[in-house]
A and B are shown apart, each in its own frame.
Chain A
Amino acid sequence: MSGEELLPQRSGDSLAVHKARLFRKQQDDDEEEETAEEESSAEDVKLQPRIDSIALARGRLSINTDATSPAGSVEESLSRKSGGLKSKSPKQPKPKSPKKQGVRTRFAEDSPETEGERSNSLAGTLSNVGRKLSEAFTFGKSRSSSISRGEEKPAPEPEPVEISAESTHGHTDRVWSVTWSPAGDFLASCAGDKTVRIWSEAGPSGGWHCAAVLEDSHSRTVRSCAWSPGGRQLATASFDATTAIWQRELQGQEWEQVAVLEGHENEVKSVAWSPSGMLVATCSRDKSVWLWESLPGNEFECVDVKQGHSQDVKMVAWHPDGDVLASASYDDTIKLWTESDDEWICAQTLVGHESTVWAVAFNTSGSQMVSCSADTTLRVWNCTSNVDGDPNWKLATTITGYHTRPVYSVDWSHQNVIVTGSGDNAIRCFVQPQQAPSEVPGISLGPGGAFQLLGCKEQAHDADVNCVQWRPHHPSELASCGDDGIIKLWLAHELPD
């Protein structure tokens, strides 16, 4: 990992030029006018997604949509008459909407610390192993007054690049979740501003830009999103009780909504696509987990509705093998669901956390799972087979004493590093060393071995870190997002000796 190429710094001027060029490339004047018109009409008339008929029957929900042929739809999607919901390329800044109630007003009170000061205090919190998280990129507009980060940073730390200084491309509310495409080339972010943004690297010289904005669909916060394994579709879960399915064109980032999954009684908190691509799971504050089958022609059929949790279900995640679904809940438990005779059953309920379980993540092989909770701990669970050959999960170890606020997000990399995002504004990495350390404070030794803190980035965001996720096919890179409305890309690398 030492000597890994760090991304080059961009000077302020060249960055501005770079941005302007990208922005104009997105669309020409005609389209700009057209979409601007469409936008104003969208305010008056609620655009309907391309749905022919919705059959609402208890437990069986089928959405019929137009069969969209990829070839012809490129032109069609640009036409105003199609009526389908399309993504909008980033355009001129819209007039600022009236201040949303509940948005904090008094946040410019503190003089912002320089990045240099922060990094110095970070050095003191590093573990003996010597890794640390360096900020590779920052994109998204900060709601707080902040100086451009990176100018005061001492070498050899990488200089972060602020991608979008204007509010055009950044989210205008807290970012709840970031999700990498399966190939690791695109990052989808969803936010309280009811939009989803797709980010991609802008050319070989580095830098990130907003490739698409998925908006005018959800009427409330978009809480999470999930890519199909093929990377062509995106499911977006919203507080408006629906889950929208978007599809992009074969080339480029023109997205179109092709289906909507309705049925939950209230906010949908999480959506997850099975590894095979055949099933989509959603969960909600209505305490249920729904399983949908993805059929040809962008048709989705509900195959099961699982009651079982006694409270709000916060997250669903698939086991890498695709035969087990984990759900994490406000009722402090994790449930594992498996399919048995065309029906899904709750195979096991994992008890242990002392408060809401916010997220779970499996390791690459699927032999272990980690969960994070409002009780500020992580719990690692091992999978063993019982006498019948059915998987049986047991608590291996509890990681305590590190987080001081709820842990909202956790992810497990292919290099076996666990990363967490917490309400204490920090991002932490944990690893399970081959040999157990003799004494490490805060780790309780269980049969599965001990986890050691690899590194901690305090004040990774100026507010709660809501989501962290490792980047596929890019070892040691991860994305994070937070209540500050910012998305950051991090690089974990060795400290120089």
Chain B
Amino acid sequence: MDLINPEPIIHERKNLKSNTDRTTTSEDQRDAIDPLEIFEHIRDITDPEHPYSLEQLNVVSEDLIDISDDKSSLRVQFTPTVQHCSMATLIGLCIRVKLMRVLPSRFKVDILITPGGHSTEEAVNKQLNDKERVAAALENPSLVQMVNNSLQGPKP
């Protein structure tokens, strides 16, 4: 079977230190969600094609995550491994579903391809951020199966 990207570059899994230098004030009952926490949720999503995580393929990284806990807004950018990757929409959908399952419902989430990262990025972005299209896609059992496979995490 022809893979879209037969020779992906594999990166190391990073050891990221959490931001322990937090001033605790009396009103601050709850730590704000930061990019690292988001990254922890999505780093181990498996690429649909290869048995590697999105982090290992450098598809997602912590610096491509913008979050404002106060405004309940989150933007995640991801970089497909190749410009014409036809799995881009599926990867974006996996990221969206994972975040949907773990984040408070108050968050408005935008999933976008890193600018310049894909030949049809506008079209992919539009689909990924059309909630009606996403909802309909997630009623498709075979698609949900594929997403769940990727969300299972790295194979042992």
Binds A, one of B12-20, B44-52, B102-110: B102-110
Cβ B136 vs Cβ A109 within 8 A: no
Bitwise interface map of B from 109 to 136 toward A, beta carbon under 8 Å scored 1, else 0: 0000000000000000010001111011
Instruction: List B contacts of A144 (CB < 8 A).
Output: 105
- Interface of chain A, main secondary structure: loop
Cβ B100 vs Cβ A220 within 8 A: no
A102-B138, A104-B101 known; A462 vs B130 contact (CB < 8 Å): no
- Alpha-carbon gap, A220 to B137, bound state (A): 11
Bitwise interface map of A from 98 to 128 toward B, beta carbon under 8 Å scored 1, else 0: 0001111111011000000000000000000
**Chain A 233-284 interface residues, beta-carbon cutoff 8 Å to B:** 239, 266-267, 269
A102-B97, A314-B132 known; A239 vs B105 contact (CB < 8 Å): no
Cβ B102 vs Cβ A105 within 8 A: yes
- Alpha-carbon gap, A267 to B135, bound state (A): 11
What's the nearest-Cβ distance from chain A to residue B145, in Å?
A: 10
Q: A318 in the interface, Cβ–Cβ < 8 Å?
A: no
Q: A356 in the interface, Cβ–Cβ < 8 Å?
A: yes
Q: A374 in the interface, Cβ–Cβ < 8 Å?
A: yes
Cβ B132 vs Cβ A102 within 8 A: no
When C-beta atoms are compared, the residue in chain B nearest to A464 turns out to be B131
- Alpha-carbon gap, A484 to B105, bound state (A): 9
Q: A131 in the interface, Cβ–Cβ < 8 Å?
A: no
When C-beta atoms are compared, the residue in chain B nearest to A314 turns out to be B132
When C-beta atoms are compared, the residue in chain A nearest to B123 turns out to be A311
| Interface size class of chain B, counting residues whose CB lies under 8 Å from the partner chain | 20 to 34
Cβ B108 vs Cβ A423 within 8 A: yes
Instruction: List B contacts of A266 (CB < 8 A).
Output: 136
Cβ A104 vs Cβ B139 within 8 A: no
Instruction: List B contacts of A424 (CB < 8 A).
Output: 108
Bitwise interface map of A from 345 to 357 toward B, beta carbon under 8 Å scored 1, else 0: 0000000000110
B130, B132, B136, B139: most-surrounded residue (chain A CB, <10 A): B132
Cβ A330 vs Cβ B104 within 8 A: no
Cβ A104 vs Cβ B100 within 8 A: yes
- Alpha-carbon gap, A451 to B97, bound state (A): 39
- Alpha-carbon gap, A469 to B29, bound state (A): 39
Cβ B105 vs Cβ A107 within 8 A: yes
Given contacts A102-B97, A104-B101, A462-B105, 18 further A-B contacts (CB under 8 A): A104-B100, A107-B105, A109-B104, A110-B104, A110-B106, A144-B105, A220-B136, A221-B136, A239-B135, A269-B132, A285-B133, A314-B132, A356-B130, A374-B130, A423-B131, A424-B108, A463-B106, A483-B105
Chain A residues close to B by CB (< 8 Å): 101-107, 109-110, 143-144, 174, 192, 220-221, 223, 239, 266-267, 269, 285, 312, 314, 330, 355-356, 374, 405, 423-424, 462-464, 483-484
A-B contacts, 21 of them at CB < 8 A, read A101-B97, A102-B100, A102-B101, A102-B144, A103-B101, A104-B100, A105-B102, A106-B104, A107-B104, A109-B30, A110-B106, A144-B105, A221-B135, A239-B136, A269-B132, A314-B132, A330-B130, A424-B108, A462-B105, A463-B106, A483-B105
